[in-house]
Amino acid sequence: MNFLKDKVIDWYNLTLEDRFDKMYSVQIEIDTGEYAYISGKNPFSLSDNPMLFLNEEEAQEEANNWYTGVVHEWHIDRKKGISTEIRPMTNEERQRAKEKEQQNDSSSEQQE
C-alpha cells in the first residue's frame, strides 16, 4: 500500500481490496465559522475531495502547516466504501427538519 503514500486519494473510487478501515484528513477554518478539508490542490475548492492520509502522524504533519489545522478520522466501511464522517440525523434533528420543510412549503404556497 506504500504506492498511496504522499498522494491525494480519491477514496470514492478505490477498489474493495484497497479500502482501509480508518484514514485521516485535515480540516481548516477558512473564515470565521467556515471549514474545509484540504484537498492537496492549490488552489482548492470546497467541492474537492479531501486529501486522505494513511496514518495520523502524516495527517498531523500536514495539520501543523496550517494555523487552524485539525486532524479528523475517516472511518471507511470496507463493504460499502462510505465514511461515517456524516452521521445519521438524531430524532430531534429529523423532527426539526420536517417542521422546517412544512414551514417552507406553507410559505411558498402563500407566495403563489
What DSSP assignment string belongs to 60-100? HHHHTTSTT-EEEEEEB-TTT--BSSSPPPPHHHHHHHHHH
- Continuous segment of H or E residues that includes residue 31: strand 22-31
pLDDT tens by residue, 15-26: 555 555 678 899
- pLDDT at position 75, please? 72
- Annotated domain spans of the chain: 2-111
pLDDT tens by residue, 2-58: 444 455 666 566 655 555 567 889 999 988 988 888 988 888 788 888 888 888 999
- pLDDT at position 62, please? 93
pLDDT tens by residue, 56-109: 999 999 999 999 999 998 876 665 655 555 555 678 878 888 898 888 887 777
- pLDDT at position 4, please? 46
pLDDT over threshold 50, residue 1: no
- pLDDT at position 112, please? 64
